[in-house]
Chain A
Amino acid sequence: MSLEQFKNRNVGVQNYTTLDVGVSPTTNKAKFVQFITRAVKGELFVGLWVTGKAMFKALFQGDMHTVKYPFEKMPISPRYRAIHDMLRLLESGSYRCIGCGLCEKICISNCISMDTRYDENQRKEVSEYTINFGRCIFCGYCAEVCPELAIVHGPRYENASEQRAGFSLFEDMLTPIDKLNLQQEYDGFGAISPNADENIKQTPLAY
């Protein structure tokens, strides 16, 4: 909607649907009849029946909805955006991060900061990397923009802390090398779409 349309829109006419609530009785007789009908109808007992049934189910049929949170946790969606994880390459265990700095650039709360250097193998290496979780708004842009699927959002959402600023270093977020086999591929923001192959053009590489 353009601004012009927005200003000229007719606020008075909307597609409201009127709920059928019947007609309020006007005569005393009608009111009396309504009262008697409602009193005898036992609607109140329906309410009691509903809550009673719920209690019975909760107590005796295991239909209890409470999750005892610190001891039990709900499964979360793979798209959930919690504390970041830094993934490794599955085959070699090397960092996926190439130090391109896109996450640092796109971060709208300016909480990512990195230093890079020219390493002994003539490659770009991230020498320092921090995320200030006091500032991070978990928008997911970093994961989305990452060309290597190196920075992703993990499931670790319990990040309350005593101080507002909380810095996490690269190593803190990195998959431990001995847990590489447990590393989960990320399905959330920025992950490869299931039909990615269809969108790729072939390039001649026949030699």
Chain B
Amino acid sequence: MSEVKTVENMVSITIDGTEYKAKEGEYILNAARANDIFVPAICYLTRCSPTLACRICLVEADGKQVYSCNTKVKEGMEVTIDTPNILEERRAIMEVYDVNHPLQCGVCDKSGECELQNYTLELGVDSQSYMIPDTKREVANWSSVLHYDPGLCIVCERCTTVCKDMIGDAAITTTKRGGADLDKAYKETMPKDAYSMWNKLQKSVIAPSNGTDETNCSDCGECVAVCPVGALVSRDFVYQSNAWDLKRVPAVAAHSSDGAQIYYEVKPTSIEDRTEKIFRITNEWSYVSLDGSARFAYDFQNTTATKDKAAFDAAIEAFKKAETVRFNAMITNEEAAMLQTLKEKMGLKLYNLEVRAFQKFLNHYEAASGNALWSTDTDAIMKKSDFVISIGAALRNDSPAMKYAFNNVQKMNKGAGLYFHPVGDTLIPTFGKNVEIFNHKVGLEEAALYLVLDLFADKEKLPSEVKDYIESFKTTETKTIKEKVEKTVKEMVLNEETGEEEEVSKKVKEMVEKEITVSTNGLIDLLGGDASKFDDVFAKMMKKKENFSMMLGEDLYYHDKAENIAKLVALVEATCPINVVMTPPKSNALGVALICELDDAPSGYTVGYNENGDFKLSALGTGDLDMPAMNQQEGTLCNIGKRLLPTNAAVEYNGYELNDLMKVLVGAPELTIDWTATLPKERGFKGIEFDALTNSFDNDGTDNRGYVLETSNVETELPEVEKCDENAVLEGDIAYRCNPARQFNDFTDKSHEIFEAFALYASVEKAESLGDKVEVVFENGSITLDVVADAKMTGDIVKVPDYRAAEGVYDLFGESRYKTVTLRKA
């Protein structure tokens, strides 16, 4: 384990005459924001790199005008936010932004939440000095969810920045729009920054970066969230409602295990129908980024539910008859606690395929490491880490938070990354140039961990047999190679966009011959890498790196040798300066794993909760008794950040809840949320009442939502690990249980803005060879699926989604995520 820096180096700076503390290396703008001081800024996004598009964050630091979004604080720095000259610049910039901006604020979906409007008023723009002919710009729909009105766009590039730096899709970019040239006279008469900003603004517009009219992205909608004006809106929300009419219900995104903060924004459906409907999802985009399921899968509520007494009585009978309750991760902690109570009092078996493997893995991990939970979280990785390793996670599909963290580390922390996964993904390499990908064979996750041990472990700490085992892979030889040497040449270039003269360094390459000794690491070859080049690459990756972290995915939990992997992870933590984060497979898998004692196999009469069963409780409205969906109930969820998070009911629910059944079966408190304080303290819960849970962020991004679960740390000996079985790899056609990016469960499937099909996903070549429809034959059954080509996949492994509980995909895969299957054209 690495040393966690508890006290960061603080410096003192003076802003407008008052002294403040700021973190070393932070930008002036962020330091000011953390201290509750307002500095105007449009284009800057807290967790992304400075864009320098708007230029209104100009401040005076130590007598020089600087952009506060890209100038780091220094000890004793004197900052003045407003000087007459800066105010003049800012006003000119805002006037320029207002040139030709349509005066249709009345119908704009931003409806008063507009930053252009705010800053125009803030800077007192009451007259316009500039003019230029307007260009016709056509409204475009970029994808099934994105609507772009370039007429309203001020090209602040927040959308492109967040897409590149946070989401990692880099699906949109600025392009030329063919606007008229500025009158040259302006160059002399207007403030310099305003002129260069305008020069750029007049020429650019945002468009999909792949050159087509459609973005090929994960449809997360984060660009919509960050848009300061009404240019980017979700297609479903265009002209539907004014922002002020919507009531915000703070909640937690229900589908992935990110547990991202969201607001359900509700108002009555229409004039005739006064029941409340969720119109959109918003988030605190400065502090949290949503994935597509969190933003667009919101209308999954159970609308048909009524208090059906007959069904209720039948449910009571079913529970009395039942031996097993089958459920999944889409359940609150409180309901999980209820089911655990049923297990204790009625002897019911709890069967949960989504969580069981994860729970076992956690138990092994705890036994091996002495830690109940992993040591870091994705938020901390984004803030501090500069080297990330991902093992066993299909980053693009499994855990958006891990994907964003992996990408953000590359972009923001000048980081590097190692990505171990059997399924090739073309998106990962685009995250950064220091990302190294290992598309290893299925079953070699242990080898990956051994490689991590080899690369990072303090060899002194390693047990000798492990050390010997790692060394056994290594060979040494001498080679003559040609090497490229780069020389840097500086020259002055006129920047077309801004019209400024800039100094640009160009790199010129030369070839030099060299003779070197190369040690070859067999592990790298085993994992499908190029051992001959890896050392150099790795040396480059390791430059100036201080904070390492490792992200573990669902593949490991469903591994045949999960116990050994858990021990290896514990070993990595014990011997390497690496922090670990694990992604709970879905939704509230962590909560279920901590609260419920799950059983390995069902037996007898089964009650299914959102799952198949002899009697079905369902929040989807399809079961024998209706249950509230996640957006209809209060409760808590546990997420990847090891937090217990409160979520609230956004829409009304008229049926029975699980707690009502509990009252009859074994007795229960009045409300579901009365269970919150009773969650098991020995598993890290704090016994805080639901209503006492906080739900906010601080100005500097500190997360105050709910509380962090307490993790017990017991000193343990280093675990004894087994060797990696190199021959235990799967061959032939392999199916990988993996959902498309925005699908997680039946509820995302039900939501009308989620379009990803329940189909077999394969790389383009594989899809062509498979045809339109295919029968996937497992040992214990088969499933027939349409074939969808995923342009970002490579390799032969096909993905079979599991998000429809009724399809029983979990049963087909059993306790592993990869299966050798026969693919038959159907």
Q: A residues touching B (Cβ–Cβ < 8 Å)?
A: 98-102, 104-105, 113-119, 122-125, 128-130, 147-148, 201, 203-207
Contacts and interface: CB of A to CB of B under 8 A. Distances in A.
Contacts, number: 59
B107 A123 contact: yes
B242 A105 contact: yes
B107 A98 contact: yes
Contact of B111 (A101, A123, A130, A148): A101
Nearest to A129: B271
A122 B152 CA distance: 14
Interface residues on B, range: 20 to 34
A99 B107 contact: yes
A105 B129 contact: no
A129 B271 CA distance: 8
A204 B106 contact: no
B654 interface: no
A113 B106 contact: no
Given A100-B106, A101-B111, A125-B239, A204 B128 contact: yes
B241 A116 contact: yes
Q: Which 6 A-B pairs have the closest CB atoms?
A: A100-B106, A124-B107, A124-B239, A204-B131, A118-B239, A101-B242
B127 A205 contact: no
A115 B238 contact: no
B354 to A, nearest CB: 38
Among B128, B241, B242, B270, max chain A CB count under 10 A is at B242
A122 B139 contact: yes
15 contacts: A98-B107, A100-B106, A101-B242, A102-B106, A104-B242, A105-B244, A115-B270, A118-B238, A118-B240, A122-B139, A123-B107, A124-B107, A201-B126, A204-B128, A207-B132
Given A123-B107, A203-B127, 7 more contacts: A99-B239, A105-B245, A117-B240, A118-B238, A129-B271, A201-B126, A205-B131
A94 to B, nearest CB: 14
B38 interface: no
Given A101-B245, A113-B271, A204 B239 contact: no
A94 B184 CA distance: 42
A153 to B, nearest CB: 20
Contacts of A207: 131-133
Contacts of B129: 204
Given A113-B271, A115-B270, A122-B139, A104 B239 contact: no
Contacts of A99: 106-107, 239
Nearest to A115: B270
Interface in B95-130: 104, 106-107, 111, 126-130
A204 B183 CA distance: 13
B577 to A, nearest CB: 54
B440 to A, nearest CB: 48
Contact of B245 (A104, A124, A201, A206): A104
B270 A128 contact: yes
Among B106, B130, B133, B241, max chain A CB count under 10 A is at B106
A203 B128 contact: yes
Contacts of A119: 239
Nearest to A201: B127
Given A123-B107, A207-B132, A207-B133, A116 B271 contact: no
A64 B127 CA distance: 58
A128 B270 CA distance: 8
Contact of A148 (B106, B128, B239, B244): B106
A87 to B, nearest CB: 16
